[in-house]
């Protein structure tokens, strides 16, 4: 799977085609993918900006004493492991 935000994406259809040609399935979000990360920690049903998702995500992650200095970076290769360690995927699935 390859997953990406649709916003500000100039070659959206080409990205899907390229993924399929390479043998991947494509998934995308219409807003900010960071919402999926945030849902691992808290329920959110209000429209907020991408920057707000990130600020809320950082706040939730920093509640864990091992991550008090956490700073989110797009394309962080360690985010999945972090979510698996301190997040709650069942909560995220329930909220989505």
**Statement to judge: residues 48 and 69 lie in one domain:** yes
**Statement to judge: residues 14 and 54 lie in one domain:** no
Q: What is the pLDDT of residue 18?
A: 93
**Single pTM value for the model:** 0.71
Q: What is the pLDDT of residue 61?
A: 97
Domain of residue 64: give its range: 31-96
Q: What is the pLDDT of residue 30?
A: 65
**Statement to judge: residues 47 and 85 lie in one domain:** yes
**Statement to judge: residues 37 and 6 lie in one domain:** no
pLDDT by residue (tens digit) across 12-66? 888 889 999 999 998 877 667 788 899 999 988 887 887 898 999 999 999 999 9
Calpha distance 30→66 (Å, rounded): 32
φ, ψ of residue 64 in degrees (nearest 5): -85, 125
Higher model confidence: residue 23 or residue 11? 23
Compute the average pLDDT of residues 77-81: 94
What is the count of structural domains for the chain? 2
**Statement to judge: residues 46 and 89 lie in one domain:** yes
**Statement to judge: residues 19 and 39 lie in one domain:** no
């Amino acid at each position: 799977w390859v997953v990406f935000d649709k916003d500000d994406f100039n070659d959206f259809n080409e990205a899907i085609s390229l993924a399929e040609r390479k043998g991947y399935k494509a998934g995308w979000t219409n807003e900010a993918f960071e919402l999926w990360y945030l849902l691992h920690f808290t329920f959110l049903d209000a429209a907020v900006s991408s920057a707000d998702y990130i600020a809320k995500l950082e706040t939730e992650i920093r509640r864990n004493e091992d991550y008090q200095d956490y700073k989110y970076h797009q394309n962080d290769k360690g985010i999945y492991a972090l979510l698996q360690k301190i997040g709650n995927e069942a909560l995220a699935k329930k909220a989505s």
